[in-house]
Amino acid sequence: MVEPIFDYQFRIIVVGDSTVGKSALLRAFTEGKFPEVCDPTVGVDFFARLIEVKEGVRVKLQLWDTAGQERYRTITWSYYRNAVGALLLYDVTRRSSFEHLVEWLFEARRHIEPGRAMFEVVACKIDLESSRVVTTEEGKAFADSYGLSFIETSAKTGYNLEKAFATISQQIYEKIQTGEFKMLDGWDGIRTGFNRSKDSLRLMEAEVERDRCC
C-alpha cells in the first residue's frame, strides 16, 4: 500500500493589523527561516505545508496571508468564505493591534458565515519582551471571553511556532470526526486528500466493472 500524501486539506486564513507578523510567522512555519525584512502583504499571499494531526493522519494546510491595511479589505473578504480556520494575530509590542482583535474576529465570523470555523488568538513577537505592552494574562482573557484558544509565539526564535498551527488543525480534525464539520460541494474549507493507492484501486474497480458490462 502506498502511503497517502495527505488525508485532508484545511484552508486557514491569517488576519490581523498590518505588520503584526503574519507573513513572518507563515514564512518561518512553511520555509523554516525567519525573514529579517518583510514587505507589507498586498491583497493576499498563499503558503502551504503538510502536518500530522495524529499518528498516520496527515493534513495539507492552505494558509492565506491577508493584508492588514484597510484599503485591501474588500479584496480579502472573498477568501473568508472558504476558510475552516482563522488565526487572529496581534503584536505584543503594539497595544492597538490587540485592541483591534475584536474587529478582526467579528469581521471573520461575518464573512465566514453561514459556514463554521475554528478561531485561535496568536500573540506575536514575544521575543521582544523588553518592549511588550500586552501581557499574557490580557491575551488569554480576551481569548477566553470568546471561547477561543490562545498561544504566544515568536517567528524569530521559533517559540510555539509548530504548536500554533498544530492546535487549530487538531481542533478542526476533531470537529470532522464528530461530524460537526462536513465537506460540502462548492466549499474549499475542508477537502479530502490525495491517496495514490485508493485512486489506483478505484481505477481497477472501474476497469473490472467495464469488462463485466462488455
pLDDT (tens digit per residue) in 38-64: 555 545 788 999 999 999 999 999 999
Structure letter (DSSP) for residue 126: T
Most confident of 7-21, 104-118, 123-137: 123-137
Which CATH superfamily hosts domain 8-192?
P-loop containing nucleotide triphosphate hydrolases (3.40.50.300)
**Cβ distance 66 to 199 under 8 Å?**
no
Supply the pTM of this predicted model. Answer: 0.84
| Residue keyed to cell 472501474 | 206
Under 8 Å between Cβ of 38 and 27 = yes
Domain ranges of the chain: 8-192
What are the backbone angles phi and psi of residue 49, rounded to the nearest 5°?
A: -160, 150
